[in-house]
Structures are given as structure tokens and as C-alpha cells.
Structure 1
Amino acid sequence: MNKPNSPSARHPFRMLAVLLLAFALGGCAAFQPPRPYTSEAEALAERGEPTARWPNPDGSTVLEFSTQPYGTTCLMVEVDATGMVLRQWNALADENLARVKKGMTQDEVRRMLGQYRSVQRFALSGEEVWDWNIPKDSIDLIATYFNVHFIDGKVVRTSRTHEYPRDGWMMGFGFSRGGAYWGSYWGPHWDPRWGYPRPHPYWGWGW
């Protein structure tokens, strides 16, 4: 047992603060961009087998290394026919998410963003929604999801969903041509056009 005048008794939270600082610094290091690879063999040795291989007409191939459903990155490594790396990028970076446009097919989106986290289908609205776990917009959130909404296999809009720690409820905002929309959702399931039992309200603005 600590004596009343011992350092640990006078500063009961000192060790906790040190541990939290070490955890935070370790977390920052974990999210650093990966070092550039020079060859396919080097990427495979460090990353293992890719989640997908996307061939290009010129003979090059894009290797997809998705970290879904729990990670927030998807490393794409383009290699030429000899296996040398031409370029690499994070498919879930904001600038790449912004490339998703209305009218794109599911195959085009799948190739652009990599493996999705989950799929939900809404019979009343006719939408099929794919989502990706992406870096949180705020430290107060549990998670942020980027959603792509399809009707008949074509993109109609995109949105983001925020999951908060209290009560496991979620709120979101989205984009739809023609102005603002409103709606409601329940638990982890939500639909911008149709409500659920005991819904939580949400709102959004146009895309």
C-alpha cells in the first residue's frame, strides 16, 4: 500500500497520464502513410496477398490492399508488367472519395474505392447503399462512414454517417441534387427517404 507522502500517492494520475500519452503517440505513428514500395514483391512481402487485383489495358495492374471493415485506409499500388511500382495512393483519401459521381456503376466505384465495409438494401426507396469505414471527422465519434447510394446499379448520391458513443445511435448527412432533404433512421440502419420505428431525425443539403 502507498504511503500518504509517497510520489504515487501525491500524484495518483501521473502514471495514467504517461500511459495515455504513450498510447496517443503510438496511435499517431500507426496512422503514418506507408513508405513507397519499389516492386510488387516488396509490397506483397510486407502486406500479404492483395484483396483484389485490377488489370489495366496497358498491361499494368493495380494491387488493392483494403483494411475494411475495421481499418480506414485502402492502399492501391500500381505496378507495370515487370512488377515495378509506378505509383501508390490511398483510395479512401478525401480527394479520391470526391471522385465518386452520379451515374457511375457499382464496378467503377468498387474499383475506385476498394472493398466496402457493408451493404444495406432499402426496399421502399429502391436504394442499395455501400459504406466504407474512413478516418473519423472528430475524436468525439466512434466511427465515420462514407456511403455510396445506388439505384439500379448506378450512383445517385453519396453521404457520410457519424456514429456516436452514447446509446449506439447514429446521425448522418448526405447529398441529393435539387436541394435539402430530411428523414430519420433507427440504430445503425438509416434511410434518407423512409423512417423506422422510434426514429431519430436528421437533415442534409444538396449535392
Structure 2
Amino acid sequence: MKRFLSMLCALLASLGITACDYLNVRELKPGVSTAAEVRERFGPPQQEWHNDDGSVTWEYSRQPEGAECYMITIGTDSILREIDQRINEQTFARIERGMTGDDVRRMLGRPASSQFFQLKQHTVWEWLMERSTTVNEAAYFTVSFNNEGRVVETGRYSKPKR
């Protein structure tokens, strides 16, 4: 039964459905779990980031519908080192003026959307921070880039419930 649930969660995750992420994160153990176990639970990564020490960080963004982005680091020994959910205040605070789109993407993962504003000559990426509920509006974190592809500002906004 446990194996069936793992396979179902991996299939749902590959389709962008995050209901099983909580279970997957709890079951994986840094220093113990293997890269194969991570792939079995999360599916193939959307992006692979190669690190200076030879390790690789796999990106599992749940944008645009989910408010999560898991960056999972695998060591050169194919053992899980770290699972980090990046859609949070600590990561937002690290976004600085002058960073490139690749710098931001590596920190926050794939954005929920990207839009170019002609008058301002800025491209704005946004990430869902909090889903809309019966009580709360959906909240977004934004990063604006100039024509050179450098961060010029960050912001936040909420979408009213429909």
C-alpha cells in the first residue's frame, strides 16, 4: 500500500498536483534517502542546477497553482542532502537590485507568470505566496526586471476573491 501511495504521489506531482508533497517531504531523509527515491516521489525535476561542489539541486516548482517550490540538493554520492521550500520570507529578503533572472530563478524557482509592461519597460515575474481561501485573498510576490534583465524592484499584491 505504501508503494502504491508513493507512486500515486509521484504521478500527481508530475502533473502539478501538490497534495502529496507533505507526505513526500516527511518520508525523505537527508543523509539517508537516495536520488532514485527522490525521483520516485517527486518525478523528474523541472530544472537541474549544478553546484560548485559537484552536487546538483533539483527544482520542483508548484507554480502557478501551488505556493511552493522545493529545491532538493543531491550530493555527488547520489544521497539527498537537503530539501528546501523556497517560497518564504527569508528567500524573498535575499532578492537584491542588480540580480539576473537566472539568479532569481535559482532562488525562487519557476515563476507563476511573467508579463512585460510597455510603458515602464519592465518585465515582472510573480510567484503565488498564498492561495486564496474563503478567508484570505491570493497573495503574490513580484520581481521587476529592466531591459538589461536586472532586478530593479520587488513587491507584493493580493488578488481579490472571486
Q: Same fold by TM (over 0.5)?
A: yes
- Asked whether 1:55 is paired with 2:59, we answer no
Asked whether the equivalents of residues 141 and 163 of structure 1 are also in contact (C-alpha less than 8 Å), the reply is: no
Higher Cα Rg: structure 1 or 2?
1
Deviations 1:112-138 (A, max 9, x none): 110111111011111100011112598
Partner of 2:123: 128
Partner of 1:39: 34
- Asked whether 1:162 is paired with 2:122, we answer no
Asked whether the equivalents of residues 60 and 80 of structure 1 are also in contact (C-alpha less than 8 Å), the reply is: yes
Asked whether the equivalents of residues 140 and 164 of structure 1 are also in contact (C-alpha less than 8 Å), the reply is: no
Partner of 2:81: 86
SS at match of 2:45: coil
Go from structure 1 to structure 2 and tell me whether the alpha carbon gap of 1:164 and 1:47 turns closer, same or farther (over 3 Å shift). same
Distance 2:67 2:105 in 1: 16
- Asked whether 1:114 is paired with 2:129, we answer no
What do you get for the CA RMSD once the two structures are aligned?
Answer: 2.1
Q: TM-score, normalised by structure 1?
A: 0.61
Correspondent of 1:145 among 140, 146, 162: 140
Distance 1:101 1:70 in 2: 26
How many residue pairs get aligned? The number is 138
The unaligned stretches of length 5 or more in structure 2 are: 1-18
Distance 1:40 1:117 in 2: 27
Higher relative contact order (CA 8 A, sep 6+): 2
Go from structure 1 to structure 2 and tell me whether the alpha carbon gap of 1:84 and 1:111 turns closer, same or farther (over 3 Å shift). same
AA aligned to 1:100 is: I
Offset of residue 141 of structure 1: 3.2
SS at match of 2:139: strand
Structure with the larger helix share = 2
Go from structure 1 to structure 2 and tell me whether the alpha carbon gap of 1:31 and 1:144 turns closer, same or farther (over 3 Å shift). farther
Distance 1:162 1:44 in 2: 34
Distance 1:30 1:77 in 2: 16
The unaligned stretches of length 5 or more in structure 1 are: 1-28, 167-207
Q: TM-score, normalised by structure 2?
A: 0.77
Go from structure 1 to structure 2 and tell me whether the alpha carbon gap of 1:159 and 1:48 turns closer, same or farther (over 3 Å shift). same
AA aligned to 1:117 is: A
SS at match of 1:112: helix
Go from structure 1 to structure 2 and tell me whether the alpha carbon gap of 1:144 and 1:31 turns closer, same or farther (over 3 Å shift). farther
